[in-house]
Structure 1
Amino acid sequence: MIRRRQRENARHAPVDPGGIRAGRDLLVSELRPRKAAFLRLLGWSVLEGTPALLSGALVAAALDQGFLAGRNSVGFVLLGVLGLAMLLRVAATYAMFPHLAAVVEPLRDALVRRVVGGALDAAVAGRRPGGTDPSAAVARLTEQVETCRNLTASLLRTLRQLAVTVVAALVGLAVLAPIVLPLVLIPLIPAAWLFVRLLGPLARRRRALVLADERIASDAGRVVGGLRDVVALGAQDRVVAELRVVIEAQAKAARALARASALRLLIVGIGGQLPLIILLLVAPRLLREGTLSPGEVAGAVLYLVKELSPALRALTATVGDWILELGVVAGRLAESGARPATEPEAPVLVPPSGVERPIRPPALSARDVTFSYGPYAAPVVQGLHLTVPERGHLAIVGPSGIGKSTLAALLAGLLTPQHGTVLLRGVPTTDLGEERLRREIAVVPQEAYVFAGTLRENLAYLQPAATDAELDRAVRLVGARDLTERIGGYDAELPDPTALSAGERQMLALARTFVSPARLVILDEATCHLDPGTEALAESAFAARPGALIVIAHRMDSARRADQILLMDGHLPTVGTHDELMARSTLYNDLIGHWSTTTRPRA
């Protein structure tokens, strides 16, 4: 039943051949803000179309009223007017290019931002950009964005001119010889219909070729990256065979596109050549009956031969390819750069009135969590059971390199365990939307990130609506008030964040996190560059803050301040208080003793 419904939904779903609709929507949304430049382009386009509009009429007048009437001077004057119109087109074309650049160059910047933003979103969410290998993502950034920019520029320069030429030629023909216009439109309309009908199959084949190119880039990138291993294992023949399959698929897609493109010759024949043949066949009768003069016949032929037929040929031979390729490439960029819809948050079950409410779940819990970085690697975390209550304060300690930061990433939902479950207030982190996870959990790494901008922008980055009073409280509680005053206040610029010391950057990151809405804060050695007194002040501030606190301890004093301690020793993690671990863990005693005999202050 479910599969049948899915098939029915797929059958009735709107068809988007080759992703053209998505690409069109992307281009429209990015080009819409540049309406003024488009209007200026349109104005110059009208001037560019002047020769196409006047050519047939001026030649007809030059023949009928000039050369054939024995007034050669009149004929030359009229041809001179046509020459001036062509000079006007040259000037209009020259003046058009700055406005074309004003449309196209911002488009490239917007597409780069979209691709990079989509890749970053995918990385944060643990997905591959656009569901493909990173090499394909690089191909989109380095090739497809530039292709999209170049095609847009070419189409705006060429298609615009062709469209103006066709319209001007038809208008001129209608004014010069109205009786000829139906003879032109009768074959032209079917040719246009055939061209539109051909776009769908061409788009699908063009998209298949683009995807095949991406597959080659992806597979070849992996081979080049692992070439040493391929040679060491003697797998050259196997790799060559696998690449041959991909290359042959790309060649097959290219041949299919070429076959479909051959039908364009039929369009040129119907729309471009057939009207001329019809006109030449009926011209003697029209001349005998006096319906048309010799000049009018020559002018009508000129409209067809010089304006309409070349425009149609260019439209089908080159511009048609450009339109299809632009639609497909823009469609791929739209897919790869699309940001995922906000995931629904886990529902909160509210019991009916009169029913005893369940006990509130802990802030964070882990049930039999095991994680390793590969199927054959030793587990970094194994069989972890942990509960951090609301307002709880947990310190994680262990030798360097034992996996404390990995555990922090697991608890924050940045990594997914191979076995077991991590729950945030009773809900598995894998069931929570990425937006909710990042809103409720804040991880502060050892190397704090401060960006160029004002101090306010840095401190309020995770809580843009933060007031001055909230910022004042945060910087005071984490010990950053003197630093804030020395910088010059919240509106002072930080043009070069690297001018701040590592400890100063850590204080700003702590204040930023304190202001954030996160109810679970994980400090991953986030105070290692601070002196012990400032470290104690900051940890005490976060411990008193609503929510829960987890500290990856840089100094063992952090463990003494915690409600409970998680000791990692490479086997089953041990949880207990400071006194409990001192009584039963040799490793914990060693860590305490090592810290007591080393130089403790660190500026």
Structure 2
Amino acid sequence: MASETMRLVRPVLRAHCRDLGALAAWSLVETLPVLLSGTLVAAALDHGFLDGRVPHGLLLLLAYGVTMVIGTLGTRQAMPHTAAMVESLRDALIGKVVRAGLHRAVYPESGAGHSGGSTTDVSTVARLTRQVETVRQISGGLLLSLRGVVLAMVAAMIGLCALDPLLALITGGAVLTAAALTALLSRVLRRRHVALLRAQEELARRAGPQLTGIRDVVTCGAWKTAGRTVGAGVDAEAAAAVASARAGAGRIAVVAVGTRLPFAIILLSSPWLVSSAVLTPGALVGAMVYLLQGIEPALRAMVQTVSNMGLQLSVTLHRLTDFIDVPPRPPSGTAPLTGAGAGAGGGTATDIALRDVLFAYGPHAEPLFSRLSLDIPYGSHLAIVGPSGIGKSTLACLAGGLERARCGVVTVGGIPVPELAEDELRRRVAVVPQESYVFAGTLRENLALLRPDVPESELDAAAVALGLGETVRRLGGYDAAIGSPGLLSQGERQLITLARVYVSEARVVILDEATCHLDRTGEERVEDAFIARPGTLIVVAHRITSALRAERIAVVGQDSLTVGSHDELLRKSAEYAELIGYWSSAGESAEPAGESAEPAGEVAEAVTSRPRPLV
């Protein structure tokens, strides 16, 4: 466990060597009062007050007060260096947890699932919000406390040894005994704390589905069943918390052995020690100061604070390590996409073919498609239409290699998708979803994300072709910073996302309702630009005009797929005829956008003012 913990912490410490050095130096300054406390008190008594030299005694006590001020300064100066390391550790952990969570979500077939499949999302949120924050808080407190405990203990033992080696020997034996008991107790506490963390994660696993489905729970009257399910997790967490607290009570005995026992021994033997001149009265009081002001607070902090925080930190980091250590992503194939068309002229055609594909979203789910077949020749333009929720986006993702068929085969360029080199597949086949992803940074960085070396002339051509020019001018050029993507309209975000793909190397572009926030004129302009661009265009259509622009239309039905031209589908597909009737009744028109008698805004208002069968 220690090696796993250090594997997470070591890179952060290595990056903050200067902070570590400064922290060590200020920590030495902080322990100065402990080192000199007993010696100054002993000298103040023996050579001051008891010797009749009161001013000298007061001066020595004043010197002790000065050391305390200096120690406080050391504590203050140590804080910024501690914070720098702790915040860096937190950022590193969040990055690792997010990457692991994305890996588990994207590659569930790699065996990286955790805490039971579908509950991975809830478990990830619990770790990110509770366990990473726990590491941040504990590591800061531990770093501050641990250095104080160790240095204060060493300083007090040095002071005791200077007063009398016998006292140092007695105290050192008691401290070592307390340390051994702490180590034994820590094993029990670790087991109890692991059980508590597991109980908390199990509670999150149980409560997550109940809370997200609370409407269904109330509607079905299943609140008692939901209560029992969550209540069992609550009871288990409470029992684990009580067991952990009971084990922690043993720390009181450890503190008594380490500090109160040597204090009692010295106190009971003090008459003999003073009468036999082994110790002076001042040295005896100084020894008590070292015990009560140096060793006891340090040992109490070690047993009750450092031990507890170290245990929580170790266990929490171990649990995070279990989550962060995911298997490597499933190996993709190595076959190159020789038919991807490396340049604008294109090489060999990159045909997409689906053969007898069966797809379902879970091992026990009803198949969405069974024995589905479809050919999409390179350079063609296909529109996918159908009722909402029928599987249009799923079909697009199957064609783009984002979803894997349970049975059957999907090929790109004649090569099954699992055999293709994934990096090249993603470079040559682009799927643009309805959600537009614009990142903080410059406009150029956003547009060139998929092709960093794209020349500015191609960015200009894309802006003109897609209608992005006004946005570029409004922002102040390609090097303008996009501080907050929320300042852009939804249509502008979609145009930026579309332009990113337009200037990429992709030769198969799949628009999954990627123009839903544009008006009819804007949508037509975008689709015409991609039609003129070399390669294949697949559009999940939500307007009749979008479907009519395609060479072929694929109508997705209930476990059926009908492909043909507009005229052919009107004759042979009842589902398509019904969609056309609905679109027409909603205010859509088969006329080109520029000749429509109805403004695009009114059409959009008519479509969105009633239920729509298309996503």
Give the equivalent residue in structure 1 for 2:200. 213
1:383 correspondence with 2:371: yes
What percentage of aligned pairs have identical amino acids? 43
Counterpart CA distance in 2 for 1:479 and 1:236 is 53
- Measured at CA, do residues 30 and 331 of structure 1 come closer, stay the same or move farther in structure 2, by a change above 3 Å? farther
1:247 correspondence with 2:234: yes
1:461 correspondence with 2:449: yes
* Range with bigger deviation, 589-598 or 167-176: 589-598
Alignment check: 8 A CA contact 1:453 1:494 kept: yes
Give the equivalent residue in structure 1 for 2:255. 268
Shift of 1:50: 1.6
- Measured at CA, do residues 241 and 499 of structure 1 come closer, stay the same or move farther in structure 2, by a change above 3 Å? closer
Counterpart CA distance in 2 for 1:227 and 1:555 is 35
Alignment check: 8 A CA contact 1:442 1:513 kept: yes
| 3-state SS of paired residue (1:346) | coil
1:395 correspondence with 2:383: yes
**Aligned counterpart for 1:77 among listed residues 48, 56, 59:** 59
Give the equivalent residue in structure 1 for 2:39. 57
* Range with bigger deviation, 401-410 or 360-369: 360-369
| 3-state SS of paired residue (1:522) | strand
TM-score (ref. length: structure 1):
0.78
1:444 correspondence with 2:432: yes
Give the equivalent residue in structure 1 for 2:560. 572
Deviations 1:112-134 (A, max 9, x none): 55555554554455687876454
Give the equivalent residue in structure 1 for 2:613. none
- Measured at CA, do residues 192 and 430 of structure 1 come closer, stay the same or move farther in structure 2, by a change above 3 Å? farther
- Measured at CA, do residues 425 and 299 of structure 1 come closer, stay the same or move farther in structure 2, by a change above 3 Å? farther
Shift of 1:272: 3.0
Give the equivalent residue in structure 2 for 1:161. 148
Give the equivalent residue in structure 1 for 2:299. 312
- Measured at CA, do residues 241 and 426 of structure 1 come closer, stay the same or move farther in structure 2, by a change above 3 Å? farther
- Measured at CA, do residues 133 and 504 of structure 1 come closer, stay the same or move farther in structure 2, by a change above 3 Å? closer
Aligned partner of 1:181: which letter?
A: A
Counterpart CA distance in 1 for 2:198 and 2:563 is 51
- Measured at CA, do residues 426 and 334 of structure 1 come closer, stay the same or move farther in structure 2, by a change above 3 Å? farther
Counterpart CA distance in 2 for 1:468 and 1:204 is 61
Give the equivalent residue in structure 2 for 1:67. 49
Aligned partner of 1:46: which letter?
A: L
Shift of 1:385: 1.2
Counterpart CA distance in 2 for 1:189 and 1:507 is 69
Deviations 1:307-363 (A, max 9, x none): 11231122112321122112333444455466764543324499xxxxxxxxx9965
* Range with bigger deviation, 333-342 or 135-144: 333-342
Give the equivalent residue in structure 2 for 1:355. none
Aligned residues: 573
Shift of 1:226: 3.9
**Aligned counterpart for 1:515 among listed residues 500, 503, 520:** 503
Counterpart CA distance in 1 for 2:502 and 2:327 is 28
RMSD, aligned CA: 4.3
Deviations 1:429-468 (A, max 9, x none): 5788986765554211245433443221111122334444
Alignment check: 8 A CA contact 2:352 2:412 kept: yes
Give the equivalent residue in structure 2 for 1:346. 333
Aligned partner of 1:458: which letter?
A: N
| 3-state SS of paired residue (1:568) | strand
Counterpart CA distance in 1 for 2:281 and 2:487 is 83
| 3-state SS of paired residue (1:491) | coil
Deviations 1:528-581 (A, max 9, x none): 535476235322244x14xx4422245666667656543323342023466765
| 3-state SS of paired residue (2:557) | coil
Counterpart CA distance in 1 for 2:272 and 2:353 is 94
Shift of 1:81: 1.9
| 3-state SS of paired residue (2:437) | coil
Alignment check: 8 A CA contact 2:190 2:311 kept: yes
Shift of 1:56: 1.3
Give the equivalent residue in structure 2 for 1:353. none
- 5+ unaligned residues in a row in structure 2: which ranges? 338-347, 594-599, 602-615
Aligned partner of 2:394: which letter?
A: T
Alignment check: 8 A CA contact 1:24 1:331 kept: no
Aligned partner of 1:76: which letter?
A: L
Shift of 1:43: 3.8
Counterpart CA distance in 1 for 2:189 and 2:362 is 44
| 3-state SS of paired residue (1:457) | helix
Alignment check: 8 A CA contact 1:462 1:516 kept: yes
Shift of 1:282: 7.2
Matches within 5 A, 1:34-433: 34-94=16-76, 96-97=78-79, 100-104=82-86, 115=97, 118-120=100-102, 122-125=104-107, 132-227=119-214, 229-230=216-217, 233=220, 235-276=222-263, 279=266, 292-336=279-323, 341-348=328-335, 363-371=351-359, 380-391=368-379, 393-398=381-386, 402-415=390-403, 420-424=408-412
TM-score (ref. length: structure 2):
0.77
| 3-state SS of paired residue (1:59) | helix
Counterpart CA distance in 2 for 1:79 and 1:206 is 45
Give the equivalent residue in structure 1 for 2:525. 534
Aligned partner of 2:171: which letter?
A: V
- Measured at CA, do residues 271 and 73 of structure 1 come closer, stay the same or move farther in structure 2, by a change above 3 Å? same
1:490 correspondence with 2:478: yes
